[in-house]
Amino acid sequence: MGLLDFLFGRNTQQSDLKTNTKSDDDRVKEQNAQKSDNTIEPFVFKSNCHQRYENGLPKMGLQECFRTVCVEKNIDGCKGYKLEPGIGYIVKVFNDDLGKPNMSDKPMKVVRKTENSVELRGFPIEAVSPFGWQEVDYSVYGFIVYYEHGKVSKCVLHMYDRNTFIEYRYVDKTPLMTANINSSISECEQFAQQAQNAANIGNTSRAHQYGMKVYDSIIREPIQLRKVSDIQSVALALGKLMEGDYFSDNDSIKKAVGLSYYFLSKAIAGGNDNPYLYAYRFSVTWEYNKVFYHLFAHSENKQLINSLYNPIEQSMLMAYDHHLQGMQMADMLVEPRIANLDPALGNIFNEIYTRYSSTPSEQIIKLGKEYHAQIFEYLDKKIKALDFDF
């Protein structure tokens, strides 16, 4: 295992699909050998909505219905499986609307643990079937638990063989505060501070809702940006907002991406060392790379027309993609705590870094900062002119 694998927790124990059967003794030995010191505290999470994703895209819209998601210790094995007591955990999803399980119980083991998440993964095991005991490879199932200040904020069930996952969330529906119009603090800052307060107590839903109010406030009254002083709170609120899929039209996506990136970069340039600033900036450049292709082009007084048959444009897109990768690698190299906050970003970094492993880190950081500066300077001019047509 290399240094990067050690730092960013790459899982090198991938299970191969087995077609042969094993004796019970062999299976027990294998399961015992795979025991990990990593643990997860059993919990019950009440979800009131969930979103399904296929190939990275949301499908069927947000489903507002009740599910009970829980992780239990394996104390007595698991019904329907040949599983020794004490091996791993049992992941369950219960359909509260129908009063029955939403899926069969899944035995899993902890494969990675960071300060804000725990990842579990299924493994090869024998399961009962109409034809007797059959070996199935449950490594195609994964389950990631995300925490905010020690509280479960959401759970994500992955079906890797189908490139599909389901996010189980909880949306707080209690009324939000209104802004104090007599305050010396701008409206968007007031909402941003409420977003931070919510995030600090683990209420991700409320943090997202206040983040949306920050965005709506800026769009409705852009002139207030000229007196914003709490840059970090606005940056973190918008960065947190961009974790979700709250925008569907291209115009809103471009504005939200531009504003969140601008404030995150401004907070970082101001000397703030909060690792979430870097994590959110890394994430927004990764999730919304097509927006950044256009930002790069506009910063160079060029236009992209998204033509598959234009060799000049394809060359531009390739160049901008390299620029983005440089920005992402630079952020991770400067602030490696990103990988502990979001292990998925650590994995992305590993994949990118292998392509440039012969390039000195100092050179990557230098170029990455130059590309960040190019985008920031373009956005800075636009935002100071209160022009959000990015």
- pLDDT reported for residue 270: 93
Residue extents of the structural domains in the chain: 16-169, 242-384
- pLDDT reported for residue 52: 94
- pLDDT reported for residue 35: 42
Measured at the CA of 218, the angle between CA 213 and CA 221, to 5 degrees, comes to 115
- pLDDT reported for residue 18: 32
Q: How far apart are CA 221 and CA 43, in angstroms?
A: 43
- pLDDT reported for residue 203: 87
- pLDDT reported for residue 32: 44
Could you give the 3-state DSSP secondary structure of residue 146?
A: strand
Answering whether pTM is above 0.85, one says: no
- pLDDT reported for residue 25: 52
In this prediction, residue 238 has a pLDDT band, given cuts at 50, 70 and 90, of very high
Give the model confidence (pLDDT) of 100-136 as tens digits: 999 999 999 999 988 888 999 999 999 998 888 999 9
Give the model confidence (pLDDT) of 55-65 as tens digits: 988 888 889 99
* Percent of all residues in the chain with a pLDDT value above 90, rounded to a whole number: 71
Mean pLDDT of 331-354: 89
Q: How far apart are CA 336 and CA 35, in angstroms?
A: 28
CB burial class (10 A; 0-12, 13-18, 19+) of residue 348?
buried
- pLDDT reported for residue 56: 83
Q: How far apart are CA 222 and CA 58, in angstroms?
A: 30
Mean pLDDT of the chain: 88
User: Which CA distances in Å does 330 have to 25, 278, 284, 324, 373?
Assistant: 49, 10, 14, 10, 12
- pLDDT reported for residue 204: 86
* Percent of all residues in the chain with a pLDDT value above 70, rounded to a whole number: 90
In this prediction, residue 308 has a pLDDT band, given cuts at 50, 70 and 90, of low
Give the model confidence (pLDDT) of 25-43 as tens digits: 544 444 443 444 579 999 9
Q: How far apart are CA 290 and CA 275, in angstroms?
A: 25
* pLDDT of 349 over the 80 cut: yes
Give the model confidence (pLDDT) of 46-82 as tens digits: 999 999 999 988 888 889 999 999 999 999 999 999 9
Mean pLDDT of 246-251: 89
Measured at the CA of 208, the angle between CA 271 and CA 339, to 5 degrees, comes to 50
- pLDDT reported for residue 201: 84
Could you give the 3-state DSSP secondary structure of residue 342?
A: coil
